Structure 1
């Protein structure tokens, strides 16, 4: 079985940088499709706002709710950067670099109780969730007053989806 596995592994091509970028873009497109679907269902926004309220009550960490915000000014075609690329470094260099990374991790200390872990900026989150909550209320009132099929309600839902996608 091991020989068969090793023989099979030799016939499979490794992923190239372009292949990785293509897969990352497909994953991002899938995430965007899910967000678009969720954004058009106001009850999902209700849940998200409830979770944010729990964060403000210090029952949750912000990074438990969201991983970050979309930057509309970010270049679309920027390629991700790697910390080290194995094909360009020899084995000794890789081992040295891994040791340096482990030393850096040891020096960091335990600060996992606060939101200084590289997660979303709390001030930006407060602003974005404020915008989302305001548009959610407009949408909710429009649904109650006019019904979901009404033209004004559909416009409010579309605006809510836009605010959500910008977050």
Structure 2
């Protein structure tokens, strides 16, 4: 009848995730995110919002990390991408202990971490280049839609190219 004992008894019957199980779930989540992003990429009007948000970043109204979390290297294969569990498994106990000491040194008098001051997001120069590519392809696609309509072969090719550029963004 003790709630803690009931909880512990129930938890004893539940199987914990293995490392492979966690990796499998992470891959399924990543695949789902990629499917959603691919669907959105084929709707050029959605790109307008992203470009407007970047314009707000340029006007210093938003942080870049509020818009995107990074970029995907189109030349990188899926198998090459390290997972968080893979990265963590390569750290030794000494490395982990060193990180704890550094975290304590980084704290200010009021207890806040000094990492909050920096952006910590994507590289602004890379972002400027990628958003420039996206904006250029968006304009080509928009003009093609106006001139030929969405069903035209050239427009479909332009939309596919826009989708390829958009898929490089990690939202």
Q: What TM-score does the superposition give when structure 2 sets the normalisation length?
A: 0.78
- Relative distance call for 1:109 and 1:130 in structure 2 (3 A) is farther
SS in 2 for 1:108: coil
Of the structure 1 ranges 111-120 and 51-60, higher mean CA displacement relative to structure 2 is found in 111-120
SS in 1 for 2:125: helix
Alpha-carbon shift at residue 61 of structure 1 (Å): 0.1
Q: What TM-score does the superposition give when structure 1 sets the normalisation length?
A: 0.80
- Relative distance call for 1:134 and 1:46 in structure 2 (3 A) is same
Of the structure 1 ranges 38-47 and 110-119, higher mean CA displacement relative to structure 2 is found in 110-119
Whole-angstrom CA distance in 1 between matches of 2:164 and 2:144: 17
From 112, 117, 120, the equivalent of 1:118 is 120
User: Residues 108 and 114 of structure 2 are in contact (CA less than 8 Å); yes or no, is this contact kept in structure 1?
Assistant: no
SS in 2 for 1:47: helix
- Relative distance call for 1:14 and 1:92 in structure 2 (3 A) is farther
- Relative distance call for 1:81 and 1:55 in structure 2 (3 A) is same
Alpha-carbon shift at residue 99 of structure 1 (Å): 6.7
Gaps in structure 2 of 5+ consecutive residues:
none
CA deviation map 1:44-82 (0-9, x unaligned): 100000000000000000000000101234453357466
- Relative distance call for 1:107 and 1:62 in structure 2 (3 A) is farther
Alignment root-mean-square deviation, CA: 4.1
Alpha-carbon shift at residue 14 of structure 1 (Å): 1.3
Gaps in structure 1 of 5+ consecutive residues:
none
User: Residues 65 and 121 of structure 2 are in contact (CA less than 8 Å); yes or no, is this contact kept in structure 1?
Assistant: yes
User: Residues 63 and 115 of structure 1 are in contact (CA less than 8 Å); yes or no, is this contact kept in structure 2?
Assistant: no
Whole-angstrom CA distance in 2 between matches of 1:90 and 1:156: 48
Of the structure 1 ranges 83-92 and 3-12, higher mean CA displacement relative to structure 2 is found in 83-92
User: Residues 111 and 117 of structure 1 are in contact (CA less than 8 Å); yes or no, is this contact kept in structure 2?
Assistant: no
Alpha-carbon shift at residue 2 of structure 1 (Å): 3.0
- Relative distance call for 1:92 and 1:134 in structure 2 (3 A) is closer
Whole-angstrom CA distance in 2 between matches of 1:38 and 1:18: 30
Whole-angstrom CA distance in 2 between matches of 1:145 and 1:115: 47
User: Residues 57 and 64 of structure 2 are in contact (CA less than 8 Å); yes or no, is this contact kept in structure 1?
Assistant: yes
